[in-house]
Structure 1
Amino acid sequence: MAPVTHQPSSAPDPSAAPRGHGLRRDIDLLEALASDEAQNAGGLGVVRLAQLVGREKTQVSRALKALAAEGIVERDPDTLEYRLGWRLFSLVARTSENRLVRMAEPVMHALSADLEETSHLCVLSDREVLTLLSVSGHSFRVHGWEGRGVPAWQTSAGRVLLADATPDELYVRFGTATELPVHELWALIQEASRQGYARVSEEFEAGLVGVSAPIRDFRGRVVAAINISAPKPRLGERLDVAGHTTAAAAARVSALLGWEPRRTPPPRTRLT
């Protein structure tokens, strides 16, 4: 009688899930913690996060504990809610935007010391302005805004970051999804381009004013913005002075990135 040979089972092995499967689930959690809901609330609990990502509460709890152990998320000891952690922002600042951050930080310290206000380094992320770095005029960094996104059309930083966009690109990016009609946003962008900086007064938040100026790379393209924001009673009467000072600081960073202001910018498309 011939010996019986056991053939490998064709049943799927539950442990053989795609290697990126767990990472995808972690990314879903991080995206939920970066949502407007989480930012407005200052964090989200396990139950709400489980609802947002469509997973079991126990699974989400285990994943969050692992992420918290690595500093990717943080848990508030009082509310027990989670928010994005310091290590995530640190990793971002040290990778793709590393050179920009390194060039901008000392200039921003000098600017903040000059104006006695906190300065922010901002980039455009889809329809939002994302803060990469915040510094004060002292020898420390300010983390309250780092990693936080705000609507581009409401901020002075958004108006300078969109300086290279054509009207068609603005319609594609924003459509009718904003509180500000595209033709009005276009006019504000053009005004900021003529002035060399943008200014807002209580348009993003009551009692808050700010100015922003563009940082350009060696091609002359706007890649970032330096922003100064402060309470209106403190900065409101010197917005234009702050705008010119911030524009000079942004130009210094642009020069460090290889931009030569003598180059003539390409002709702009008119809004019809």
Structure 2
Amino acid sequence: MNLSKISAGLRRDLALLEALRSLEAHRKGGLGVNRIAEMTGREKSQVSRALAGMKEEGLVDRDPTTLAYRCGWRLYALAASTLEARLTQSAAPFLQRLASELHETVYLCVLRDRNVVIASAVSARRGRSRGLWEGDTLPVIKTSSGRALVAEWDKGSIESLFCGGEAVHSIPFESFMSDVQYVRERGYSILHGEPSERFIGVSSPIKDYRNGIIACVMVVTENSTVSERVGAVARLTLRCATQISRSLGYAAVGRGRYGDASV
């Protein structure tokens, strides 16, 4: 096997993908074969064959009307899995510290198809999982984590969550919006009765270098009448989420505001 030949071919294919992720491709919604050949300095016929092969593998898509190529579903799937792996790895030491401080199980949650998915769960020595495990799916509407994850959505997008489903309509839209506003102002969500009346859910969003919410930290603690305990859980959860955000390249601005650890 000629490894140098394979390597050269791979570099040429990567050059095509780099062209498709350029600003020009983004603005135009894709690029034609001629323009990609121009940008990469290759023959049109070579580019056409290479793109046809990548299309078969899902690495690129082609618009049936304009015939323009753009990055395909498989690239986005690979990017998503890579980002999630880095997120989980970066978050692990901060989640472990929080779990040890609170003696609770701490969860890293992400949004998938408008559902909350537990990406990882870190248990303290005396902590309990509350019946939640990695891979479990939770309803956005009924969780503190859901409120944290959609905190940057506009009102119309959030309203679309309330279309259909009996369980959804048991929670007033305006009440949910008020909770989301609380996250925007305080940096965390507190929800009584999660996952049952005995508990309180506390969640804080995680941002990355693009300044967008990509995940959240969630803690489920005993429903106590001692407000100081809930306040402490909220502050420590916010601090944990902020530390993870900074490890991912997010630069928080403002003191005592959403995304800042100075609380």
TM-score category of the 2 structures, normalised to the smaller one? 0.5 to 0.7
Task: Report the counterpart of residue 243 of structure 1 in structure 2.
Answer: 234
Alignment of 1:47-86 (within 5 A): none
TM-score by length of 1: 0.57
Q: Deviations over 1:43-94 (max 9, x none)?
A: xxxxxxxxxxxxxxxxxxxxxxxxxxxxxxxxxxxxxxxxxxxxxxxxxx97
Q: Structure 1 residue aligned with 2:139, among 148, 151, 154?
A: 151
Alignment of 1:91-240 (within 5 A): 95-138=82-125, 144-177=132-165, 178=168, 179-233=170-224, 238-240=229-231
Pair 235,98 (structure 1): closer, same or farther in 2 beyond 3 Å: farther
Counterpart of 2:161 in structure 1: which amino acid? Answer: R
Q: What 5-or-longer segments of structure 2 have no aligned partner?
A: 1-79, 255-263
State the superposition RMSD in angstroms: 2.7
Most deviating of 100-109 and 196-205: 196-205
Q: What 5-or-longer segments of structure 1 have no aligned partner?
A: 1-92, 264-272
Most deviating of 137-146 and 114-123: 137-146
Deviation, 1:109, is 0.2
Q: In 2, Cα distance between the equivalents of 1:243 and 1:125?
A: 24
- Check conservation: 2:99, 2:127, Cα contact below 8 A: no
- Check conservation: 1:213, 1:247, Cα contact below 8 A: yes
- Check conservation: 2:145, 2:217, Cα contact below 8 A: yes
- Check conservation: 2:104, 2:126, Cα contact below 8 A: no
SS state of the match for residue 97, structure 1? helix
Q: In 2, Cα distance between the equivalents of 1:246 and 1:152?
A: 19
Q: In 2, Cα distance between the equivalents of 1:262 and 1:230?
A: 29
Pair 127,163 (structure 1): closer, same or farther in 2 beyond 3 Å: same
Deviation, 1:182, is 2.4
SS state of the match for residue 154, structure 1? coil
SS state of the match for residue 107, structure 2? strand
TM-score by length of 2: 0.59
State, as a whole percentage, how many aligned pairs show the same letter. Answer: 30
Deviation, 1:253, is 0.3
Deviation, 1:141, is 11
Q: Structure 1 residue aligned with 2:247, among 226, 232, 256?
A: 256
Deviation, 1:259, is 0.4
- Check conservation: 1:127, 1:174, Cα contact below 8 A: no
Deviation, 1:220, is 1.3
Task: Report the counterpart of residue 43 of structure 2 in structure 1.
Answer: none
- Check conservation: 2:106, 2:123, Cα contact below 8 A: yes
How many residues align structurally? 171
Q: In 2, Cα distance between the equivalents of 1:138 and 1:181?
A: 38
Q: In 2, Cα distance between the equivalents of 1:227 and 1:154?
A: 13
Deviation, 1:237, is 5.3
Counterpart of 2:216 in structure 1: which amino acid? Answer: A
Pair 262,129 (structure 1): closer, same or farther in 2 beyond 3 Å: same
SS state of the match for residue 137, structure 1? coil
